[in-house]
Amino acid sequence: MKKVFSRPRYLKPVANHYCPGCGHSLVHRLICELVEEMKVAERVVCVAPAGCAVLAYFYFDFDTVEAAHGRGAAVATGIKRALPEALVFSYQGDGDLAAIGTAETIHAASRGERITVIFINNGIYGMTGGQMAPTTLLGMKATTAPEGRSERREGFPLDISHLLAEIPGSAYIVRTAVNSPKGIRQTKQAIREAFQCQLDDEGFSLVEVLSMCPTNWKLDPNQACAFIDEKMSQYFKPGVLVDRRKKKKPGPEE
Amino acid sequence: MSEKFLMNGNHALAEAAIRAGCRFYFGYPITPQNEVPEYMAENLPKVGGTFIQAESEIASISMVLGAAVTGARAMTSSSSPGISLKQEGLSFLAGQELPAVVVNVMRGGPGLGNIAGSQADYHQAVRGGGHGDYKVMVLAPASVQELADLTYLAFDLADRYRNPVMVLADGMLGQMMEPVVFPEPIARLPEKDWTLRGAKGRPSRFSRSLILDTKLMEEHNWKLQRKYQRIAQKEIRFETFQLEDAKLAVVAFGTAARIAKGAINRVRKEGLQVGLIRPITLWPYPAEVIRKAAARIKEFLVFELNAGQMIEDVSLALQGQGELFFYGRPGGPIPTPVEVAKIIASRYYQRIRK
Amino acid sequence: MSTKGKIEIDAELCKSCGYCLKHCPQSCIHLASRYNLKGYYPAEFSGGECTGCAVCALVCPETAIEVWRA
């Protein structure tokens, strides 16, 4: 028998701090698999967020820099302008990207910055203990919306990817989920395409990944996966939000 | 090399930055420093540099951080309210030990203030307006030539110490036109072995300021403090003017010092023995020269274009010696040398028997 | 014991999320009755008719599973 699955080279062989069933650890692995498959380890630079993934640099075995909360797209802009040949991606959560980082994210897209943003949307603020996020669903409870998000009191959830798709500088915006084997495969392919979009100099690319947060959703991991199917993906519908790429798209690889 | 250009301060500092090897400028419009991004927009691309008008001062300081971590010489500029917005970025740059040059062309405040020149951001600059135990070197020019020279120097200091450096100018300096001579464009940039450019031929690295372990964080802080001590030992700069026989010393920086010189020239004609101590580095502060002067000089007059900020550092330097008098004009009015001469003379006659 | 495939699970990395159990088409994985150093009851290979499909490894957030296939 031959080994057909093992830890990717660029995912450091250490235990991670993420909760059982968390989507972050899955996406980290997918990114590391792609860095190896696309042979970009020597030119990839990652911008890590403030949020549960703030320690991403303990797991990624490639150059990583921390950004202040929300500023990932701006730091990535500075890096990419200085290193046009690098593969620069910012890894951000829903608060980082769609609350405090809204301006930086929108304007990076508007400028058509050749960066890729990996947007982990779990509809809640994880690291700080479960406060409401811009993407928290109506009716969903959070520590700062204890009665559940209401349209009148807290307003609607923000579909930032939809907004970004309207911007001409956005070349490829796609939403997937990591709550199932099929979703995980789709997420890997989406990130592959987004990275390729950058390498092909097409424009701004973003992958929004609907992700489980069992701890703050107060569900067990499998229930959290079901929540994404039953609730989250009804409001945040997976699929390609915009594709303005001109070059031929890579086929799916298994 | 000795060709003289007649330029306004904002243009001159931008040209000096380009000659110092700055190839990345990220900024945002705010009066009275708009000529800086405009000059950069026109001239940086000509030397292969990158200019971005960012969406805010907050975004631009983070862009500087991104370029800096790759080893590039990067800068931003703004005026008072915009510098308030950049404080987070300065703290992060200092914590991650990254070089950057930030220019503050001060304007009247607080709040939206006005677009006139002032010196009311002294505390923000030298005490550190951002959070945490860090320092930023602060350079205070008093002429367009010095603004160009200190901007050029700022990039060297930033790289040498891996720390942000602030050039603290004011709206008057930014707008006034004077002849300036520029140095030759820098031939070679210093080598940097700590940059993130993709882990080719070396292990991967990361740059961060988050250190959860308190013992490690304390050690990191003491490392930064040792760096600041080295800077304080080596990089203090100041000027003295007519201090040797002075019975009263004016202490002033930047445009205020320039006005004070004119005032001192006037009162000297009347026989008043007045001199000037002009700090050029506001951090590290030239406390020693003030302390030494206090052995012979008993009267000190601090003149600032604000409601009283540098006076605290003068007071700290004097450690109770001498008498301190403050003359300040916050909010943008620029007194003339004649007006300041009257203030100096009035104080002199009150305090010093002829 | 299957000749088509087998897996190895690093019990100390497992956080007992249950994804591999849920998605194994051959029901080859169960939760161990002893807990690991972190206090989780780790997933354990039952040694059944594994085909080496690697879905367990695909869904494992901890990259705790290695898979062999004939």
Spatial separation of the C-alpha atoms in residues A169 and A167, rounded to whole Å: 5
> Positive or negative CA dihedral for B287, B291, B292, B293?
positive
Q: Is the pLDDT of residue B1 over 60?
A: no
pLDDT per residue rounded down to tens, chain C (70 residues): 678 999 999 999 999 999 999 999 999 999 999 999 999 999 999 988 999 999 999 999 999 999 999 9
Q: Which two tokens stand for residue A86?
A: 């690098």
Instruction: Tell me: pLDDT of B271 over 80.
Output: yes
Identify any residues that bridge with B53 across adjacent strands, giving them in sequence order. Answer: B27
Residue A42 domain flag: yes
Task: Give the integer Cα–Cα distance in Å for A168 and A171.
Answer: 7
Where in chain C are the domains?
5-69
Pick from B63, B74, B196: CB nearest A63: B196
Kindly state the average pLDDT of the residues B245-272: 98
Yes or no, beta carbons of A4 and C54 under 8 Å apart: yes
* Closest listed residue to residue A117, CA positions, set A29, A49, A23, A181: A49
CB B162 within 8 A of CB B98: yes
* C5-69 CATH fold: Alpha-Beta Plaits (3.30.70)
So where are chain B's domains? Answer: 4-191+208-234, 239-351
3-state secondary structure at position A11: strand
In-domain check, residue A1: no
In this predicted structure, the answer to whether residue B50 has a pLDDT above a threshold of 70 is yes
* String of DSSP letters for B89-147: HHHHHHHTT--EEEEEEEBS-STT--SSB--TTHHIIIIISSSSS---EEE--SSHHHH
Please say if the pLDDT value at position B255 is more than 80.
yes
Helix B144-161 to helix B9-19 angle (10° resolution) is: 40
CATH number of B239-351: 3.40.50.920
Q: Is A169 exposed, middle or buried (0-12, 13-18, 19+ CB in 10 A)?
A: middle
**Does A59 fall in a domain?**
yes
C22 at A interface, C-beta within 8 A: yes
pLDDT over 90, % of chain A? 97
Cα–Cα distances (Å) from A33 to A28, A93, B9, B81, in that order, read 9, 21, 52, 45
ipTM value: 0.96
In SS3 terms, A155-185 reads as: CCCCCHHHHHHCCCCEEEEEEEECCCHHHHH
Which DSSP letter does residue A131 get? B
Top-level class of domain B4-191+208-234: alpha beta
CA–CA separation, A180 and A226 (whole Å): 9
Q: Structurally, how many domains does chain A consist of?
A: 1
**Touch criterion met for A and C (3+ Cβ pairs within 8 Å):** yes
> B73 — alpha (psi -120 to 50), left (phi > 0) or beta?
beta
Closest Cα in chain A to C2? A1
Give the tens place of pLDDT for each residue, B315-352: 999 999 999 999 999 999 999 999 999 999 999 999 99
CATH number for the domain including A44? 3.40.50.970
Q: Any idea what DSSP says for residue A231?
A: I
- What SS3 class is residue B276? strand
| Domain residue limits at A136 | 23-243
- Of B337, B332, B309, nearest to B117 by C-alpha is B332
Q: Which of C23, C57, C68 sits opposite A1 (nearest CB)?
A: C68
Using CA coordinates, name the residue in chain B closest to A51. B210
Using an 8 Å Cβ cutoff, are B28 and B38 in contact?
no
Both tokens of B100, joined, read 């950057």
Taking an 8 Å cut-off on Cβ atoms, the answer to whether B67 and A79 are in contact is yes
User: Is A63 a domain residue?
Assistant: yes
pLDDT digits (tens, 9 = 90+) for B161-179: 999 999 999 999 999 999 9
pLDDT at A254: 39
Q: What are phi and psi of A187, to 5 degrees?
A: -65, -40
pLDDT at residue C3, rounded to an integer: 86
Q: Which of B1, B40, B7 is nearest to B180 (CA)?
A: B7
Q: Mean pLDDT over all residues of chain C?
A: 96
Report CA-CA distances (Å) from C49 to A3, B177, C3, C58, C59. Answer: 17, 85, 8, 18, 19
Residue A17 inside a domain? The answer is no
Q: Is A226 part of any domain?
A: yes
Q: Do the beta carbons of residue B287 and residue B313 sit within 8 Å?
A: yes
Average pLDDT (B269-286) is: 98
Q: What is d(CA A123, CA A138) in angstroms, rounded to the nearest whole number?
A: 11
Token reading at A217: 């959703």
Task: Tell me how close the Cα of A70 comes to any Cα of chain B, in angstroms.
Answer: 9
Query: Does residue A169 contact residue A109 with C-beta atoms inside 8 Å?
Result: yes
B65-124 confidence digits (pLDDT tens):
999 999 999 999 999 999 999 999 999 999 999 999 999 999 999 999 999 999 999 999
Question: What pLDDT, on the 0 to 100 scale, is given for residue B128?
Answer: 81
User: Contacts of residue A21 in chain C, CB cutoff 8 Å?
Assistant: 15, 17-19, 61
With an 8 Å Cβ cutoff, is A226 touching chain B?
A: no
Task: Write out pLDDT tens, residues A196-207.
Answer: 999 999 999 999
The nearest alpha carbon in chain A to C42 belongs to A20
Residue A95 lies in a domain: yes
Rg (CA), chain B: 21
What is the mean pLDDT of the segment spanning A235-245?
Answer: 98
Please count the other Cβ atoms lying within 10 Å of the Cβ belonging to residue B298.
15
Structure tokens at B57: 């001062």
pLDDT over 70 (residue B354): no
Token pair for residue B235? 């990089």
Cβ(A103)–Cβ(A97) below 8 Å: no
Residue B339 sits at the vertex; the CA angle it makes with B336 and B344, to the nearest 5 degrees, is: 120
DSSP annotation of A229 reads I
Per-residue pLDDT tens for A37-59? 999 999 999 999 999 999 999 99
